[in-house]
Amino acid sequence: MTSDKINGIEKLREEISDLDDKGAAYLSNRIGIAAQIGTHKKVNHLPVYDSNREQVVIGRMTRKFDPDLRERVASVMSCIMRVSREVQYDSVMDEDNDWEPGQTIGRAEDSLPVEPRICCQGTTGSYSHLAAASGFPDAACMPALTFEECMLRLSDGDCDIALLPLENTTAGTVNDVYDLLTRYPFYISKAITVPIHHKLVVLPGSNVHGLRTVLSHPQALAQCSSFIRSKGLEQIAVDNTAFAVNRLKEINDRAYCAIASGTAGSLNNLEIIEEDICDSEHNQTRFVAITREPVITPEANRVSIYFKLPHQSGSLANILSLIAERGLSLTKIQSRPVPEKPWEYSFWADVSASYGSREVLLMLYQLSKELPFVKFLGWYEELREPIEDHR
C-alpha cells in the first residue's frame, strides 16, 4: 500500500475517532438517564421492557436518515435500547421476588444425595449404567426399558435421579431426551461425559465373515455406520445396547451380532471379535443427571434454559447479543420444532456460568421478562473431561 493511501485511510480513521469521542458523551448521558428511568420504574412497579415505546424511539431516529440508511440506523438503535434495558434490569432485579427462575434457584438444594437411587435406561453393562458407576460410585442403579420410564419413576419417587444420554460427539443429540426435559417439571443437576468404545459382540464360535445382521441402539448404529457398511450388515434397532446383547442370546443365531460395551458382552459370556468400531476414535456421550427438585452445588459451571421467541425479525440475534453483552459464553444452542405449531421452533441453550454469578441471574431475569416462554432447566456441574475410560 502506497504512503498516499496509508495517509488517506489514517485521515479517515482520525475523523472516525473524533466522531467516537463526541458520541461517548452522548452514550454516557443516555445510559445515565436510562439508569434513572430504571429507578423510576422500580419505585412505581413499572415493567422495564416497553416494546411500543422502543419502536416509537427507533422510528423517530430512523426518519432522520435517508431511506437507504434507515435499516442500519434501526439496528444501531436497537442495540442501544437493549443496553439501556440491561442497565435498568440491574437496578430492578433485586427488588423483584416474583420471577420464576429466581424462585427456583432460591429454593435449590446445594448437594446431591450421597447414595442416590439412579434409574437408567438399559440393564447392567449399558453405557448409562457405566456412566452412573463413574459419576455416582455409591449409587444403587435400577434398569428401565425406555427414557420415559426413567422420568416416570423419578416422578413417582421410585428413584432420586434419572440418568439419561443427551448428546453424542458422533451421532449428535438424543432428541427424545430433549423433548422429555421440556415436558417434565424436572431439572438437570449434573452432567457426565463418558468415552464410548463400541465392540462387536457375537455368540461363541461366530466368525465375522458369517455375520449378516447387527443389533443395537439407533445411536450406536449411527456411531458405527462406516464399520457396518464395510461388513455389509443389515441393521435392527433395539432400545439399548445392553438389550441388544440380551436379544442376541435369545436369537442364538451366529449370523447375528450386537454392538455394545465390552462389559455387556463379558457379563453375558459372549465373545468380542472387533474392538473400537466407532467411526470416531474420540466418541463420547454426555449424560445428564435429572432430579425432581433443583440442585445447585458450589461446583456448578453451566446453565441450561429452554425458551421460545417472539415473532419478530432478529429476535434470536438479540438473545445471543444479550448473552454476549453480559460477558457470558454460549456453549450450545439447539433448535427444536414446536409440534403444535408447524415451522415454528423453540431453543435449548447452554451457557458457561460460575456458581452464583450475578450476570447469569441478570441474564435469566431479563429473558424471563422479555420472552414469551422461558424454562430454567438447571445450573449444574459439567464435568469437562471424560471421568473414566470404559474399554
pLDDT of residue 390: 46
Residue 220 pLDDT exceeds 80: yes
pLDDT digits (tens, 9 = 90+) for 230-246: 999 999 999 899 999 99
pLDDT mean across residues, the chain: 91
Confidence of residue 217 (pLDDT cuts 50, 70, 90): very high
| Top mean-pLDDT range of 152-156, 325-329, 345-349 | 152-156
Other residues' Cβ atoms within 10 Å of the Cβ of residue 204: 8
pLDDT of residue 45: 87
Confidence of residue 6 (pLDDT cuts 50, 70, 90): low
CA angle 287, 293, 294 (to 5 degrees): 70
pLDDT greater at residue 303 or residue 168 = 303
The arithmetic mean of pLDDT across residues 43-50, rounded, is 90
Orientation angle between helical segments 147-156 and 175-183, nearest 10 degrees? 20
Residue 391 pLDDT exceeds 50: no
Of 189, 206, 194, nearest to 294 (Cα)?
A: 189
The arithmetic mean of pLDDT across residues 352-357, rounded, is 93
Task: Report DSSP state, residue 122.
Answer: B
For domain 101-195+284-382, the question of CATH label 3.40.50.300 is answered with no
Confidence of residue 1 (pLDDT cuts 50, 70, 90): low
Which CATH number is 3-96's, of 2.60.40.290, 1.20.59.10, 3.90.480.20, 1.10.3720.10? 1.20.59.10
Strands 302-308 and 271-274: unpaired
pLDDT of residue 3: 63
pLDDT of residue 124: 87
Q: Are the beta carbons of 171 and 223 closer than 8 angstroms?
A: yes
Q: Which residues are catalytic?
A: 285, 287
pLDDT digits (tens, 9 = 90+) for 57-90: 999 999 999 999 999 999 999 999 999 999 999 9
Per CATH, 3-96 and 101-195+284-382 having the same topology is answered no
Q: Which amino acid is at 121?
A: Q
Domain 199-274 carries which CATH code? 3.40.190.10
Range with the lowest mean pLDDT among 1-10, 47-56, 146-155?
A: 1-10
pLDDT greater at residue 279 or residue 3 = 279
The whole-angstrom separation of Cα 388 and Cα 391 is 9
pLDDT of residue 336: 85
pLDDT of residue 4: 60
Domain ranges of the chain: 3-96, 101-195+284-382, 199-274
Q: Which amino acid is at 360?
A: V
Cα Dmax for the chain: 83
The arithmetic mean of pLDDT across residues 197-221, rounded, is 94
Residue 31 pLDDT exceeds 70: yes
The whole-angstrom separation of Cα 130 and Cα 135 is 9
Confidence of residue 169 (pLDDT cuts 50, 70, 90): confident
Dihedral sign (CA 180, 182, 184, 185): positive
pLDDT of residue 384: 60
